[in-house]
Structure 1
Amino acid sequence: MTDSTPHWYDDEAGPMVRLYAMTAGRARPSSTAFELMAVVRAEPRPGGETRPDGDDPPALSPEQQAILALCGEGPRPVAEIASDSGLPLGVVRVLLSDLLAVGLIRVNRPVPPAQLPAAHLLKEVIDGLRAL
C-alpha cells in the first residue's frame, strides 16, 4: 500500500525540495569557482527590462530572484549570500554562476594572500608615518 500524499518533513516548511531541483541537476558551478569571500554585486540594468544585447531578460527561479534581490541591496560576499538566503553554499555557487553567465551580477574576487604586502613592510610604513 502506497501513500500518494507528499511527505512533509516540517509542518511549517511544507514538502521538501531536493537541492538538485534548484540547480537543474548540477553540483558544480558552470563557469567560475566562487570563493567564500568573493564579493558579488547586482549589475544595473538600463530600464530594468531588457539585457544589453536587447533580448528579453531570462526567466529566473525564485531562488535566483532572491539572490539577485540580496545582491541588489549592496555588495555581499558569497558566504553572506548563502547565509542570508538560507540555501546551501554549493547551491548558491551554482545559481551565482548562472546569474554571472547572463550578466546579471559582477564578481570581485579577493586578492590572494601571496599578492598582499608583507606584514613587516606595512609595519615599516606605519613607523615611518609616525616619525613624521
Structure 2
Amino acid sequence: MTAGRGGRRLVPSYLATGGRARPSRNTLDQLSVINAASGVVPEGLDPPQLRLLELLAGGALSLAEAAAYLRLPVSVTKVLVSDLVDAGHLIARAPIPAAQKHDRQILERLLSGLRAIR
C-alpha cells in the first residue's frame, strides 16, 4: 500500500479487500464512527486490517478519517471495517443526526429570560 515513484500505489487498493468490492453490511456510512472492540490486536489479520486496529487504539474515528489515515478509498475501507465488525474486532455506530431546526419563539423567550436575570 505504499506509494512508488510518482505517487502511484505499488499495490492496487482493491487487493486490500481480497478483490471484493462490496461490504457485508450496508449500514456503514462515511460518517459512521468506529471503535476498537478491545485493546487486544488479534493475530492472523491482513496488514490493512492491522493498521486500522492500530489507528483505533488511540480512540474513535469516522470511517472517512480512517480511510484518509490508511490512504485508501472510503469504499475499500468500508469493506475492511465491515469484515472487522463481523469478526467482533470493531464496533460501528451510525453518525449522529443533524440537529433539528429550533423553534424561534422558544429561543426568543429563552433570550429574554436570560436578559431578565441581569
TM-score band, normalised by shorter chain: 0.7 to 0.9
- RMSD between superposed Cα atoms in Å: 2.9
Give 5+ residue unaligned stretches, structure 2.
Answer: none
Cα distance in 2, alignment partners of residues 60 and 126 from structure 1 = 54
Q: 1:17 aligns with which of 11, 18, 25?
A: 11
Scaled by the length of structure 2, what TM-score is found? 0.76
Cα distance in 2, alignment partners of residues 16 and 106 from structure 1 = 31
Specify whether residues 10 and 44 from structure 1 end up closer, same or farther in structure 2 by C-alpha distance, changes over 3 A only: closer
Runs of 4+ with >4 A deviation: 12-15
Specify whether residues 127 and 93 from structure 1 end up closer, same or farther in structure 2 by C-alpha distance, changes over 3 A only: same
Give the Å deviation of 1:106.
0.6
Cα distance in 1, alignment partners of residues 93 and 104 from structure 2 = 26
Cα distance in 2, alignment partners of residues 92 and 108 from structure 1 = 15
Q: Partner of 1:74 in structure 2?
A: 59
The number of residues matched between the two structures is 113
Superimposed CA distance per residue, residues 91-124 of structure 1 (whole angstroms, 9 cap, x where no aligned partner)? 11100001100111111212334xx432226962
Specify whether residues 44 and 16 from structure 1 end up closer, same or farther in structure 2 by C-alpha distance, changes over 3 A only: same
Cα distance in 2, alignment partners of residues 88 and 122 from structure 1 = 45
Q: Equivalent residues in 2 for 1:33-112 (5 A)?
A: 33-44=27-38, 48=40, 57=42, 59-112=44-97
**SS of the counterpart of 1:95?**
helix
